[in-house]
Amino acid sequence: MFHKEGYKIIVITLVLVIGGVLAIDWFLTIEWLKLALSVTLLVFLILILQFFRNPKRLTKLEDHTAVSPVDGKVVVIEEVFEKEVFNDKRIQVSVFMSPINVHVTRYPISGKVSYSKYHPGKYLVAWHPKASEENERTTVVVDNKNFGQILYRQIAGALAKRIVNYAKVNDDAVQGSDSGFIKFGSRVDLFLPLDADIKVTLNQKVRGGESIIAEKL
């Protein structure tokens, strides 16, 4: 199953790969070179298909847990001052996605979307300390009866050139459901209340919609 954001790119890539393989077979006579170039094109197609895959996830809907919005590795767990929306201290948990991770963004919690904003910006590497404030990004806040307000931020990386955000103010967010997509390498920051019980550790690998990031009873 592939994400809808990849349909156009997949079709274009498929046409180019088929055309390239036919051209290689028609114009080249050196067998080893034909094989090497054809295999390279096929590997490229497989990478594109892998990037836009959209596997189903079994999210256990719970208001007292916040799940990871994306697949990847936890690279930041720290207390920070969040100044775009809250203007107070929060616990930031950041998940870095490599190009081979699933890049679907999912709602970490159920509730009502109260804030959604796109910010143009730079394309620093996703793990850069200033990426959260200076890179192209979107910020979404979901109001939940247990956690209060949870903020998550999609951040473009050095390779990511397009962020897709489906969340709109007053939308009903359903935990684990599709809320966007980031193309080609990126990061998502999650800002939680200080009294949230963090359930992940640095460098832990997490799965979007399934891995529990925090609890708040």
CA 180 to CA 167: how far, in whole Å? 8
Provide the residue range defining the domain that includes 158.
65-215
- Both tokens of 93, joined, read 């948990």
Inter-residue contact 123 to 182 (CB < 8 Å): no
**Averaged pLDDT for residues 123-143:** 77
Give yes or no: residues 115 and 187 share one domain: yes
pLDDT score, position 201: 98
Give yes or no: residues 81 and 127 share one domain: yes
**Averaged pLDDT for residues 131-136:** 73
Give yes or no: residues 69 and 156 share one domain: yes
As annotated, the active-site residues are: 186
Give yes or no: residues 204 and 128 share one domain: yes
Closest CA relative to residue 50, chosen from 88, 102, 108, 107? 102
How many domains, the chain? Answer: 2
CATH code, domain carrying 171? 2.70.70
Q: What is the tens place of the pLDDT at every residue in 11-64?
A: 999 999 999 999 999 999 899 999 999 999 999 999 888 888 888 899 999 999
Q: Does a structural domain hold residue 57?
A: no
More confident residue, 204 or 101: 204
Give yes or no: residues 106 and 157 share one domain: yes
Q: Does a structural domain hold residue 56?
A: no
Q: Does a structural domain hold residue 59?
A: no
Average pLDDT, the chain: 91
CA 200 to CA 43: how far, in whole Å? 34
Q: What is the tens place of the pLDDT at every residue in 55-86?
A: 889 999 999 999 999 999 999 999 999 999 99
pLDDT band at residue 130 using 50, 70 and 90 as cut-offs: low
Give yes or no: residues 148 and 199 share one domain: yes
